[in-house]
A and B are shown apart, each in its own frame.
Chain A
Amino acid sequence: MESSPQSGKQAEEALSQAIDRLWIRFLPEIRARVAVLESAAAAVTANKLTAARREKAQAAAHKLAGVLGTFSLTHGTVLARELEATYSQETSLGPDSGERLAASAAELRAIVENRPSKSQAP
């Protein structure tokens, strides 16, 4: 996989367009990771968060933290890192944490669903 380097604005625009296409391609996976966090928050609220589900939520948050900023969703990375840190704690999360975790997951959902296109292409 080789291509010629492009310069300045040309490279930036080509890259933005290609990244927009990749975003569309990977959106189902990214949405699925957000869904894991929404489900985990609901489980916390219901006081039914198992260790397996907590680990799954931690992994989903870790992956979102790594990828969202790469698609220019910097605040999404910040939120995902906070959720990763929360779910990495082995101490049990009480139902009182559920509301906060659900709000963060909902904010992440909104960020993912409203990513603006970065390219100038129609």
Chain B
Amino acid sequence: MAHKILIIDDEDDIREVAALSLQTVAGWDVIMASSGAQGVARASEQHPDAILLDVMMPGMDGPTTFRELRKNPATAGIPVLLLTAKVQGSDQRRFADLGVQAILFKPFDPLTLSSQISSALGWS
């Protein structure tokens, strides 16, 4: 099944590699947004099956974007996976407390990113 994934990340290189990886390896449909605000709008319009959300972004950061997504009934039920380069345990605990589905780490392996997402979301 071709899932539809929204990638929200301000870094062009990360966003493009993640999109390429999900399209090439898994054949998923990918939507991209380069800011939290744009991501909230895209999620509301296009109802993706899951959202891959960067933590550190200028303006609306990942946690704030996540809270905005949860406030909107149209996007509140979409599973969100945080993508972060923060490796400290305290950061991870703080992110887990938000209620996201999973935390994935940068750098990711483009060959296995889709299987990491599938595994976290119980997609087989």
Q: Which A residues have a C-beta under 8 Å from some C-beta of B?
A: 1-6, 11-12, 14-15, 18-19, 22, 25-26, 29-30, 62-63, 65-71, 74, 77, 81
Residues in B with CB closer than 8 Å to A3 are 23-24, 27
Given contacts A2-B30, A22-B17, contact A70 B24 (CB under 8 A): no
Cross-chain contact B30 with A5 (CB below 8 angstroms): no
Cross-chain contact B87 with A67 (CB below 8 angstroms): no
Q: Which B residues have a C-beta under 8 Å from some C-beta of A?
A: 2, 11-14, 16-17, 19-21, 23-32, 56, 85, 87, 106-111
Cross-chain contact A22 with B11 (CB below 8 angstroms): no
CB distance from A72 to the nearest CB of B (A): 9
Cross-chain pairs A/B with CB under 8 angstroms, 30 sampled? A1-B19, A1-B29, A1-B30, A2-B29, A3-B23, A5-B25, A6-B25, A11-B24, A12-B111, A15-B110, A19-B20, A19-B110, A22-B13, A22-B20, A25-B16, A30-B13, A63-B11, A63-B85, A65-B106, A67-B14, A67-B17, A68-B107, A69-B106, A70-B14, A70-B106, A70-B107, A71-B17, A71-B107, A74-B107, A81-B87
A-B pairs with CB below 8 Å: how many?
85
Residues in A with CB closer than 8 Å to B16 are 22, 25-26
CB distance from A5 to the nearest CB of B (A): 3
- Determine the distance from Cα of A71 to Cα of B25 in the docked complex, in whole angstroms: 16
Residues in A with CB closer than 8 Å to B25 are 5-6, 11, 15
